[in-house]
Amino acid sequence: MRAGTRKEVVFKREETKAAVVTCGGLCPGLNVVVKSIVDCLSYEYGVEEIWGIRWGYRGFYESDDYWKKLTPENVQGIQNLGGTILGSSRGGFDGPKMINALKTRGINQLYIIGGDGTHRGVNNLIQQLREAKVKVSVCGIPKTIDNDIPLIDRSFGFRTSV
């Protein structure tokens, strides 16, 4: 399915609570993706509660301070910065703790930006969410400087780094 806004929206904007996390190593364009998600959710869909989860998967559960409210105002200009305003890390996947954090905050849309290992985590998390009967839409966004994510035609990060 192609990216972009939809005619039919499943989530009511007033009920939508979204979160964005960057995982794995750094690559070009992370802040562009974070800003684009925030701007699209805010301006195209009217979502008012968007959270950035700092420091990858472990940011879900290690500290409440790792959850940062994101708005179009506080992501303005981040596309010109290197790295990611959310920080990133490898590892830290703990499905039950992550699901507990999502339930506690009422998150029903989750955007996970990462490479091959991160997407193995995405698949694992989706399976655990289904088993726990927790309704969260999860969107895995591919990024890699290694060009090693199976089944995708293109990712951000690789061509820029080359």
Are the C-beta atoms of 52 and 81 separated by less than 8 Å? no
Contacts of 4 (CB under 8 A, 6+ apart): none
Tell me the chain's radius of gyration from C-alpha atoms.
15
Contacts of 55 (CB under 8 A, 6+ apart): 62, 66, 86, 87, 88, 89, 92
Terminal-to-terminal C-alpha distance of the chain: 28
| 146 assigned to active site | yes
What is the token pair recorded at 98? 């992550």
Single out the catalytic residue among 64, 94, 146, 148.
Answer: 146
Q: H or E segment at 102?
A: helix 95-105
CA 24 to chain centre: 12
- Residue reference for tokens 């655990």: 128
Active site residues: 146
